[in-house]
Structure 1
Amino acid sequence: MIERRSFDSLGGANHGWLDAKHHFSFADYRDAQRVNWGALRVWNDDTIAPQTGFPPHAHADMEIITYVREGAITHEDSLGNRGRTEAGDVQVMSAGSGVRHSEYNLESTTTRIFQIWILPDRQGDKPSWGAKPFPKGDRSGKFVTLASGMDGDGDALPIRANARVLGATIKAGESLDYGFEHADRYGYLVLAKGSASLNGVALSNRDGAAIHGETTIRITATEDTEIVLVDAPALN
């Protein structure tokens, strides 16, 4: 089963400094059919104006992955971590027993991010944060695991969930396959840019696709395309 979730169908809110689109219920956007997808709880497509951002606020028991599409985001938290993550790179915050953090666009240009939340396998662990560069050239024609709590993904940023977040770029006319370990896994794929077909389902720029009951997917790019994919378990 593959369900296209067009960008135009997403919930969202425009706060002036922040134009947010929500693939799942979030804040004031509520949709009983889009609360989560397995252990994937949130996928926000955020556009953040220069010299603005999210002031300090608290989280607990959530794996929060930030994929920077354009610009850069500067993170600071109550653990003493501070870092700047720029386009193509990824940061992960494991909120664990609780952490306060801020995320600001301190650049002179607009920043665009995907923020992805995955429910952890366990609760109450010590919070942590990390970031890592993932050059887009290294992802040409193949998936690279960006964040993972699954075996064999040691080069990825660690998360505390039996899930992985992957990125790839595909040139127009080329195809890329991905295999799920079991058909009961939950996949969610978003085009960061471009257009493609997913097992024959046409997707446009910033569309999402909810995947379940599939063991293999094939993405064929109709123009140069950048992809982010989450492979998540069912809810515990």
Structure 2
Amino acid sequence: MTESESQASTDGPIPREMVRHGTGVNSNRAFPTDSYPYNLDPFVLFEQFYIDPDTGFPMHPHRGFEIVSYMIEGGMEHEDSLGVANTAYENDAMRITTGSGIRHSEFPADGQACTGLQLWVNLPQAVKDADPDYVDATADMLPTEEQDGATVTTVVGEGSPISLYTPMEYLDVSVTDAWTWSVPAEWSGFLYGVAGSGTVEGHSFTDGDVLPVTDARSVTLRGNESLRVVAVSGRPHGESIRQRGPYVL
């Protein structure tokens, strides 16, 4: 399902779905999937990609949304029609504003496989035709702090050089004990398990699991085996998300 004006909370985590892209790249899709056929306004989709050395994404077009790519392991080479060429490595981030239109390519660096996370964030209709733009941040540019029960890196949010048209927060969290994540009033978001295992509100939670949250509330995570998650939330636009392949109309 690529178009939805609705979204739903769930009682507990749901599994990701494997997606194979036309270029041969495999991804774990968090949403939308067969088991959760919704976008999460303002978020269009989220997935963890795995790019083998002999695969990748040749130059292709996008428009109408913003992309946040965050590397988990290995390196990924990015080139685009703005003349940008950059290689992002572990815990580096890139943000692309596709706006009125951009072309880019993504390939694994150094002849090695890579994996990372990619989030598509809808642009409100008023700025769908914004000028395309690109910015990146190395791992040491992203603020990291120790909180009760976790180590938290801010990929997007307070202190990060990465910002979007949509007010949002994107956290990379290593849970060592018990950590509580709060979704602000009138925002929506999700948790995604990157590695390890633990519990979310008493439910088992492991790598590839997803917990959509569409109402303001606090969620408590407990780590058993080096639980690493990303916690993403943002302010909905209240507009229909209409995805057409590489475009969001």
Structure 2 counterpart of 1:168: 173
Q: Which consecutive unaligned segments of at least 5 residues does structure 1 have?
A: none
Provide the residue aligned with 1:132 in structure 2.
137
State the match for 2:3 in structure 1.
Answer: none
Q: Which amino acid aligns with 1:212?
A: T
Give 2:215's aligned amino acid: G
Determine if contact 1:139/1:167 at 8 Å carries over to the other structure. Answer: no
Asked whether the equivalents of residues 61 and 98 of structure 1 are also in contact (C-alpha less than 8 Å), the reply is yes
Q: Is the contact made by 2:23 and 2:55 (CA closer than 8 Å) also made in structure 1?
A: no
Q: Which amino acid aligns with 2:168?
A: A
Partner of 1:229: 231
Question: 2: CA distance between counterparts of 1:139 and 1:194?
Answer: 20
Count matched residues: 223
Asked if the contact 2:167/2:234 (under 8 Å) is kept, the reply is yes
From 49, 71, 74, the equivalent of 1:71 is 74
Give the Å deviation of 1:145: 2.2
Q: Distance in 2 between matches of 1:63 and 1:16?
A: 21
Which of the residues 156, 160, 165 maps onto 1:147? 156
- Tell me by how many angstroms 1:143 deviates: 2.8
Structure 1 residue 100 displacement after superposition: 0.5
Once the two structures are superposed, the pairs formed by residues 112-123 of structure 1 within 5 Å of their partners are 112-121=115-124, 122-123=127-128
Residue 105 and residue 226 in structure 1: after superposition, are their counterparts in 2 closer, same or farther (change >3 A)?
A: same
CA shift in 2, pair 1:59/1:196, >3 Å: same
Equivalent in the alignment of 1:110: 113
Give the superposition deviation at 1:163.
1.7
Shift, 1:156, TM fit: 3.7
Aligned partner of 1:208 in structure 2 is 210
Once the two structures are superposed, residues 157-214 of structure 1 have per-residue CA deviations (whole angstroms, 9 ceiling, x without a partner) of 011112221111122xx121222221x3212111111112112222111211111224
One-letter code of the match for 1:4? P
CA contact 1:40–1:119 (8 Å) conserved in 2: yes
Deviation at 1:64, TM superposition (A): 0.4
Question: What residue number does 1:56 align with?
Answer: 59
After superposing on structure 2, the runs of 4+ consecutive aligned residues of structure 1 that deviate more than 4 Å are 14-17
CA distance in 2, matches of 1:158, 1:99: 18
Cα deviation for residue 32 of structure 1 reads 8.5
Q: 1:89 aligns with which of 88, 92, 107?
A: 92
AA matched with 1:143: V
Are the counterparts in 2 of residues 51 and 107 from structure 1 also a CA contact under 8 Å? Answer: no
**TM-score normalised per structure 1:** 0.85
Q: Which residue of 1 aligns with 2:44?
A: 41
8 Å CA contact 1:52, 1:106 repeated in 2:
no
Q: Distance in 1 between matches of 2:35 and 2:236?
A: 17
